[in-house]
Amino acid sequence: MSGACPCPNSASRRGPTSGPASRPRIRRPAASATRASGRPLAGDAPGVDLEALDRELAEATPEAVVARAAEIFGDRLVVTTSFGIQSAATLHLAQSIVPGIPVLWVDTGYLPAETYRFADELERRLDLNLHVFQSPISPARMEARHGRLWEEAGTEALDRYDRLRKVEPLQRGLRELGAQAWISGVRAEQTEFRRTLPRVGRQGTRAKIHPILHWNSRDVHRHLTEHALPYHPLFDAGYATVGDWHSSRPLGPGDAHERVTRFGGRKQECGIHLTAEEDESLVSSGL
């Protein structure tokens, strides 16, 4: 199932649109927006009190969370995706509320063939404004320099792999897209770390929005069913979560949690959803 995606290191998969399908104008932040006492958001954005916004949206529906984020951040709002098992839910949610929202996909070059086909299907079906980012070092060159990092014992080599193939492309993508805030489909029930996340928070210099943070698998299934959306093809093969072909496996009868099927059970987070401080303290510790 290996093989690199033919996509360039960073490229939009869809050109500018015109007519009814174009992205609507979104109201810019009001001049009276409350300034945060902490660091400014990226791109010299007006300060936003993210703690107050989190309290405001604590009981809001996912649709209301996305709509409020779009109202505040306008065209500086993006959504990230891995085209994982349940990714269609978040992508549909974001695209239905903010048509044409930039979709940032980090392609590691090691995804299963099923993931690439799933991405193509959702891009067509949901009319996604897809932007693909990859590591500047190819899979073959990385393996020649560092070996097959995922095969080494412990987490140090895996951490290096994740920084090269996931974290660096993500950060570059956020910069190139001018993102001041990004929507993520992470859910609290997925890992211990994700249970600590707020609905609206900050990661680095950007706001981070988690509209479906409190959904469980049944909620996701309900959304997919109501909107006739597909799961990832490997769902039918027993996968509860899927990333790279070499570090994902089906859920087994003795598995206590879906995340033990990733990274050989050695860790739960790849670093994408961690701040610099959390990356140092949690990734290396196995979380």
Q: Which two tokens stand for residue 244?
A: 């790279």
Q: Among residues 157, 207, 198, which one has the least CA distance to residue 179?
A: 207
3-state secondary structure of 262: strand
- Give me the catalytic one of 98, 174, 270, 274: 270
Question: Catalytic site residue 270?
Answer: yes
Q: Quote the strand ranges of 138-211, DSSP E.
A: 181-183, 200-203, 206-209
Nearest to 201 by CA among 64, 55, 32: 55
What is the rounded CA–CA span in Å between residue 270 and residue 174? 17
Distance of CA 144 to the CA centre of its chain: 29
Dihedral (Cα; 189, 59, 232, 107), 10-degree rounding: -90
Active site residues per annotation: 270
